[in-house]
Structure 1
Amino acid sequence: MLGRIVKLSSSARNPGLCLVHEQRLFSTAATPYMLLRSSNAVEERLVSIDCFDPRKQETVKIPVPEEMQESVTIGSSRGWVCLRNIHDSSVRLTNIFNPAAKVVSLPPLPPANVVKVSNMALSASPDDERCDCVVAVKFLAATIGLCRPGDSGWTYIQTPEVPAEKSNVMYSVTDQKFYLNTCHSLSTTSSIFPPVSPYPRFHSKENVGLLSLSCRAMPYLVETPSGQPLLVFWFKEKSGSDPEKSESSFLVHDLRKSRHTRDIGDLCIFLGDKNEAFCVSATDYPGLHPNSVYFGSSDSGLGFFDLASQTLHHLTDSTTPDSMWLAPLH
């Protein structure tokens, strides 16, 4: 099913470049949130979502639009949440912190029992008419799906095999392309979609010690607000006291300077199970710990890692499978 190309109703077009930095729409959304377990779920209806605010270290409850209450979250990008209906696999995007809670309908995906979603990424906010919004969905299978709002179907592209726990996609505003974390050769050219390329690679002796640890590392590509590319490695080492839990550590590699760094200034990086990795300035969001990597997953809990001191700080253990950070709404 996923190996074929699905034709789109929209006409082929070569989208223009858009390097405009989007502006924040709603002050309530002017903070990163961790989406936790759903609450008030009755008869499979997702009535609300619990969101953890790392700045105030408190949980807020966000209502879910009625037309999306029989859905499960499958990813988040640029402040938007993507959900798949549990009955017909239809997909919707919503900016749940917007006062009007806009909902954008997308074509159905294959059912969850056929293939599972790893994460998703947006090239731009669906609200921004100046930019071309393309949705990319990465499956645990070796496939990525692309579409635009208004298309009648998805275009599926076969990708190199990537271990399920290391499978994610992100969009680079600077490079105008999607990146996939695979070391295999991958390049797509299309007149209607941005290209999909593998993460940039580097060779360094600095990381040999970390890579030799009895833990697994997952790479994330993230752009700073100024467009600087960083490659972040998330190392998870099994806890001796609890085999189902992991202790996390992080290594940040500056791709432009070709070196590892423990100093990213006032920046904070956010990594989760299902969200597209993102980066914000702690100066813009008082209460965040600068020069840190914020993390959240079912096996590592929720907290931040101070890069300068190489210390881990846990905020709460209230995470569930598919925990995801929601970027400040732009």
Structure 2
Amino acid sequence: MAFTSESSSDWTCLPDLLLDSILDKLVSLPDQLRLSLVCKPWHSVVIHHHRHRRIDMNRNQIPLLMLPPNNIPAEEGRSLYSVTENKSFSFKIPFFYCKRICGSSHGWLFTVQDNTDLVLINPFSDGSSSPIRLPPFQELPGNQDRIPGVFEVVKASLTADPLLFPDDYVVVAIYGASKSLAYIKSGDKSWTHLHIPYQWFSDIVSYRGNLYAVDHWNRVISIDINGVSDSASGVKVLAPRMSWCSDSTYIVESSRGDLLIVQRFLIRIKSDDNRHVTYRFKIFKLQFNPNEEAERVEVKSLGGDALFLGDNQSMAVLASDFPGCRPNCIYFTDHYLMVAHPPPVYGRCDLGIFNVDDGSFQGLCNLDCSQKHLVPAIWILPTPSLH
């Protein structure tokens, strides 16, 4: 018996509760993204579902690696690589390929415009999430006499998702040749510079209501955003500088709620472009005492976690929650490197997997280093729009 159009099942009319149950079974956010693209009713259900669960989902999801595109024009999109599936797929996103990306946080990308202003873009939105344009940096200390061609913003991060908390998020940026710190709260008209001696900061993270920053010498400071001002009240040094400097240092919250400090060391290899590659990592856990100071204790294991480091907001997941993700490993990509001459807008193809247990390195994915006109790869959480 042939089915007529009247007797055929209308998948667009599945009950919302049934779709919610399906979403509960889909652990992978890429799978949920694919479900949301089936039709408008399903997209609406996915968005409603995420409105109630997005915070927890963001904390318990694995990022995708945004790569140069494979099968679509570069000006229309990028490719997303899944470490658990070991494959990439094309994805159209609303920004031009030639703009520099100086951070990803809570599913948003920080892009630098031609006039050096920061613009936040949600690449997974359906066009309903407008870009967030931030005030310029020109008037901040140390930026008036900047090195020509050197990007003002080295790295930027969010304390919360602007879609969930449109009136209660903070953008923190590392900027300038001295890698200083500045922040701006939602609704502010200008940036606030933090007057902290011996800048050269490398990474920032929001942790239990405060901001924590680390510099290249492993110094760790806490910042009370509610009490901070131009005079740096609310800023406290938790751990002093160490005697050695790393090429980049990251601060990340583990899946167990610990703060980890990861130092990354590069070496220049002889090649046509004299590029740098990573050859070592050192990992420390912060142990807080009653005086709210911290001791750095070197660790040789991540306790089953996998770290995702680069120009993105540093992330950690429990690898056993994601089949195909390797425990006690650091997934890393190219990071910003301050040099005397203007750095290229393309990556140096320094990306891979570092095994903490045995100190070995392994390739991450096949990336064509000859595509020098493309921007570097960056980790990002695949979070659908809430609109």
- After TM superposition, the score normalised by the length of structure 2 is 0.62
Q: How far is 1:291 from its partner? A: 0.7
Quote the Cα distance in structure 2 between the aligned partners of 1:110 and 1:241: 35
Q: 1:199 to 1:35 in 2, by over 3 A?
A: farther
- After TM superposition, the score normalised by the length of structure 1 is 0.72
Given the alignment of the two structures, is residue 82 of structure 1 paired with residue 115 of structure 2, yes or no? no
Q: Is the 8 A contact 2:212 2:220 kept in 1?
A: no
The structure with the largest strand share of the pair is: 1
Q: Is the 8 A contact 1:248 1:300 kept in 2?
A: no
Map of 2:76 onto structure 1: 47
Q: What one-letter code is carried by the residue in structure 1 that aligns with 2:353?
A: F
Q: 1:201 to 1:271 in 2, by over 3 A?
A: farther
Quote the Cα distance in structure 2 between the aligned partners of 1:130 and 1:89: 24
Q: 1:265 to 1:177 in 2, by over 3 A?
A: same
Map of 2:68 onto structure 1: 37
Given the alignment of the two structures, is residue 291 of structure 1 paired with residue 291 of structure 2, yes or no? no
Q: How far is 1:34 from its partner? A: 2.0
Match of 2:378 among 321, 324, 330: 324
Q: Is the 8 A contact 1:117 1:140 kept in 2?
A: yes
Q: 1:93 to 1:306 in 2, by over 3 A?
A: same
Quote the Cα distance in structure 2 between the aligned partners of 1:50 and 1:198: 40
> 3-state SS of the aligned residue for 1:168?
strand
Q: 1:21 to 1:260 in 2, by over 3 A?
A: farther
- Larger mean CA deviation between 193-202 and 176-185 belongs to 193-202
Q: 1:145 to 1:106 in 2, by over 3 A?
A: farther
Q: What one-letter code is carried by the residue in structure 2 that aligns with 1:53?
A: S
Given the alignment of the two structures, is residue 267 of structure 1 paired with residue 305 of structure 2, yes or no? yes
Quote the Cα distance in structure 2 between the aligned partners of 1:108 and 1:146: 11
For residues 72-221 of structure 1, the aligned pairs below 5 Å read 72-86=100-114, 88-98=115-125, 102-110=129-137, 113=149, 115-129=151-165, 132-142=168-178, 143-162=180-199, 167-174=201-208, 176-181=210-215, 191=226, 195=234, 200-201=239-240, 216-221=246-251
Identity within the alignment, %:
21
Task: Give the aligned CA root-mean-square deviation in angstroms.
Answer: 3.8
Q: Is the 8 A contact 2:216 2:246 kept in 1?
A: no
User: Deviations for 1:109-154, whole angstroms, at most 9, x for unmatched residues?
Assistant: 2479474211111111112239931001111333333113333222
Q: Is the 8 A contact 1:36 1:50 kept in 2?
A: yes
Match of 1:237 among 261, 267, 291: 267
Q: 1:290 to 1:55 in 2, by over 3 A?
A: same
Quote the Cα distance in structure 2 between the aligned partners of 1:247 and 1:171: 23
User: Deviations for 1:178-211, whole angstroms, at most 9, x for unmatched residues?
Assistant: 41416579776664769555573486xxxx9xx6
User: Deviations for 1:65-118, whole angstroms, at most 9, x for unmatched residues?
Assistant: 26x6784322112322112333x5443323323556623413232479474211
Given the alignment of the two structures, is residue 59 of structure 1 paired with residue 95 of structure 2, yes or no? no
Q: Is the 8 A contact 1:134 1:147 kept in 2?
A: yes
Q: 1:115 to 1:134 in 2, by over 3 A?
A: same
User: Deviations for 1:31-65, whole angstroms, at most 9, x for unmatched residues?
Assistant: 31222336734xxxx42123322222222222222
Map of 2:143 onto structure 1: none
Q: What one-letter code is carried by the residue in structure 2 that aligns with 1:106?
A: R
User: Deviations for 1:233-265, whole angstroms, at most 9, x for unmatched residues?
Assistant: 112233467853424221211222843222212
Quote the Cα distance in structure 2 between the aligned partners of 1:247 and 1:185: 23
Q: Is the 8 A contact 1:219 1:233 kept in 2?
A: yes
Quote the Cα distance in structure 2 between the aligned partners of 1:49 and 1:300: 16
Paired residue total:
289
Quote the Cα distance in structure 2 between the aligned partners of 1:280 and 1:82: 22
Map of 1:8 onto structure 2: none
Q: Is the 8 A contact 2:250 2:263 kept in 1?
A: yes
- Larger mean CA deviation between 31-40 and 290-299 belongs to 31-40
Quote the Cα distance in structure 2 between the aligned partners of 1:130 and 1:65: 21
Given the alignment of the two structures, is residue 23 of structure 1 paired with residue 51 of structure 2, yes or no? no
Q: Is the 8 A contact 1:83 1:91 kept in 2?
A: yes
For residues 221-260 of structure 1, the aligned pairs below 5 Å read 221-239=251-269, 243-256=274-287, 258-260=296-298
> 3-state SS of the aligned residue for 2:162?
coil
The structure with the largest helix share of the pair is: 2
Q: How far is 1:224 from its partner? A: 0.9
Q: 1:22 to 1:249 in 2, by over 3 A?
A: same
Gaps of 5+ in 2: 1-52, 139-147, 288-294, 335-346
Q: Is the 8 A contact 1:118 1:139 kept in 2?
A: yes
Q: How far is 1:313 from its partner? A: 0.8
Q: Is the 8 A contact 2:210 2:224 kept in 1?
A: no
Which of the pair has more CA radius of gyration? 2
Quote the Cα distance in structure 2 between the aligned partners of 1:197 and 1:34: 34
